[in-house]
């Protein structure tokens, strides 16, 4: 039924009045965990940006829109280095790790409205050799989600960092739905398996079993060491333009069928939510599927923002791949592995490829939809979903089509 309804639903969608915008260029640096590359945090992002721009068949002069990652750069500096002398659209989405995918939505709107022709979405850092995110978020109130609320009501009690903030949700999920540590382990193991097929994955060559996972030390119980993403040096970037310009470039464009973003309520305080599992994605996902005129069952793969394992499980539920509470059983039995019903994070994700702020998830989705994913190609991949998760549960989603 899903198959037969899909094409007509798209044709009848009242929202899509123009051809969807496209991703026409992707770029990445090497992803590494070792003493500094010698590049600055801006330099490493510029390297990824130049690769994405070149890959699109463009030059820096043609980039007239830039959406940097919050707190990791400003459009002026990117423009001054890349030679973007006609910059018209500069915007930063303050949603932490949900920003890049939310930026896809806004970049698409910008090019379709004429606010810009070519929008660059870069992101990256020296996340290993430079300032670790675990330190910056807890000691810099300006980059701390919740800002003064976190400073005045969380930090005095040692509630200082992302694995701690999110693990209280994971524990509650375990209590309410019986979710097991082994199920979180299935997610970590799946990401690690996928990384073995990815030459740029930090964890390639370092296989991991469920027993390895369970034996890893607790960090913020119920989060073990292997529930956590890997701080990495690296950067990635994508370029967005209109469908018409994408055709002119003669590349293999990937369409942004729909994009949406949302926030939990309240977004700046994580403990006082009536429904602790209602996150930004709970709002964004239904909007995106409605706009795209498809259903979760139409999706061939999902690149889910995996800062920690439970966030994958939780987002799979809120996207609608399974019902709330059923995420634990859903991730078992290889269902989210390559060859399974819904391959998740085919590049290895933040958990085993690299923490590049989820821009690497967009890059991987584009590779899959171009059929360029090599050993880890999802056969006949036509439609994929990418999500972002940030701050205290901000969410974003894009539905992409080849």
- Of 53-61, 107-115, 185-193, 264-272, the window that binds another protein (rule: CB under 8 A) is 264-272
Quick one: which segment of 131-139, 197-205, 347-355, 388-396 binds another protein (CB under 8 A)? Answer: 131-139
- Count residues near another protein (CB under 8 A): 37
In the complex, minimum distance from the CB of residue 163 to another protein, in angstroms, rounded to a whole number: 7
Give min distance, CB of 99 to another protein, in A.
22
CA distances in angstroms from 241 to 57, 265, 319, listed in the order given: 12, 33, 26
Whichever of 231 and 298 has its CB closer to another protein, that residue is 231
Query: 346 phi and psi, to 5 degrees?
Result: -70, -15
Please, which residue, 69 or 154, has the CB nearer to another protein?
154
The verdict on 155 binding another protein (CB under 8 A) reads yes
* Listed ranges 20-28, 107-115, 147-155, 389-397: which one lies at the site for another protein (CB under 8 A): 147-155
Q: In angstroms, what is the minimal distance from the CB of 351 to another protein?
A: 18
**Minimum distance from residue 235 beta carbon to another protein (Å):** 24
Q: Which token pair is 215?
A: 């034996």
Q: DSSP string covering 228-273, please?
A: B----EEEEEEEEE-HHHHHHHTS--EEEEEEEEE--SSTT-SS--
- Least CB distance from residue 268 to another protein, whole Å? 9
Q: Tell me whether residue 222 or residue 358 sits nearer to another protein (CB atom).
A: 222
Q: Which residues contact 46 (CB under 8 A, 6 or more apart)?
A: 78, 81, 82, 122
Residue whose C-alpha is closest to residue 97's, from 70, 115, 65: 70
In whole angstroms, give the CA distance from residue 33 to residue 280. 31
CB burial string 100-137: b at 16+ within 10 A, e below: bbbbbbbbbbbbbeebbbbbbbbbbbbbbbbeebeebb
The answer to whether residue 135 forms part of the interface with another protein (CB under 8 A) is yes
User: Which of 11, 272, 339, 379 contacts another protein by CB under 8 A?
Assistant: 272
Footprint (CB under 8 A) of another protein, residues 276-315: 276
Of the residues 29, 103, 126, 138, which one makes contact with another protein according to CB under 8 A: 138
Of residues 328-387, those binding another protein (CB under 8 A) = none
Indicate the residue among 100 and 262 with the shorter CB distance to another protein: 262
Residue from 92, 112, 64, 376 nearest 257 by CA: 112
* For another protein, the closer CB: 89 or 389: 389
Q: Which residues of 330-359 are buried (b: 16+ CB within 10 A; e: fewer)?
A: bbeeebbbbeeebbbbbbbbbbbbbbbbbb
Best CA proximity match to 288, nearest among 86, 16, 68, 56: 16
Residues of span 158-217 touching another protein by CB under 8 A:
158-161, 163-164, 167-169, 171-172, 175, 217
Contact set with another protein (CB under 8 A): 134-135, 138-139, 148-149, 151-161, 163-164, 167-169, 171-172, 175, 217-223, 266, 269, 271-272, 276
């Amino acid at each position: 039924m899903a198959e037969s309804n899909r094409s007509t639903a798209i044709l009848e969608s009242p929202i899509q009045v123009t051809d969807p915008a496209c991703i026409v260029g992707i770029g990445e640096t090497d992803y590494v965990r070792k003493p500094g590359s010698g590049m600055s945090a801006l330099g490493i992002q510029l390297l990824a940006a130049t690769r994405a721009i070149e890959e699109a068949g463009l030059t820096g002069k043609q980039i007239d829109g830039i959406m940097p990652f919050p707190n990791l750069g400003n459009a002026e500096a990117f423009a001054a280095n890349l030679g973007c002398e006609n910059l018209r659209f500069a915007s930063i989405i303050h949603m932490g790790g949900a920003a890049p995918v939310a930026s896809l939505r806004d970049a698409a709107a910008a090019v379709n409205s004429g606010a810009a022709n070519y929008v660059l979405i870069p992101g990256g850092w020296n996340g290993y050799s430079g300032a670790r995110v675990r330190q910056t978020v807890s000691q810099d109130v300006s980059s701390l989600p919740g800002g003064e609320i976190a400073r005045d009501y969380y930090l005095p009690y040692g509630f200082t960092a992302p694995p701690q903030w999110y693990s209280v949700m994971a524990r509650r999920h375990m209590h309410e739905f019986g979710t097991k540590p082994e199920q979180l382990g299935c997610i970590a193991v799946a990401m690690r398996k996928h990384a073995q097929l990815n030459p740029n994955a930090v964890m390639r060559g370092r296989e991991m079993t469920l027993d390895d996972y369970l034996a890893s030390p607790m960090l913020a119980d119920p989060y073990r060491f292997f529930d956590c993403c890997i701080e990495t040096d690296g950067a990635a970037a994508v370029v967005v333009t209109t469908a018409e310009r994408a055709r002119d470039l003669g590349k293999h464009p990937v369409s942004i069928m729909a994009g949406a973003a949302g926030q939990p309520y309240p977004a700046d305080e994580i403990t006082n939510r009536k429904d602790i599992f209602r996150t930004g994605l709970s709002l964004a996902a239904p909007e995106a599927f409605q706009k795209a005129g498809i259903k979760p069952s139409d999706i061939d793969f999902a690149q889910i923002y995996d800062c920690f394992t439970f966030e994958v499980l939780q987002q799979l539920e809120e996207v609608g791949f399974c019902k709330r509470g059923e995420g634990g059983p859903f991730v078992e039995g290889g269902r989210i592995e390559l060859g399974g019903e819904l391959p998740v994070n085919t590049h290895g994700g933040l958990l085993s490829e690299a923490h590049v702020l989820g821009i690497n998830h967009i890059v991987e989705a584009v590779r899959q939809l171009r059929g360029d994913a090599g050993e880890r190609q999802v056969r006949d991949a036509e439609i994929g979903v990418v999500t972002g998760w940030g701050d205290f549960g901000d969410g974003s989603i894009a539905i992409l089509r080849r």
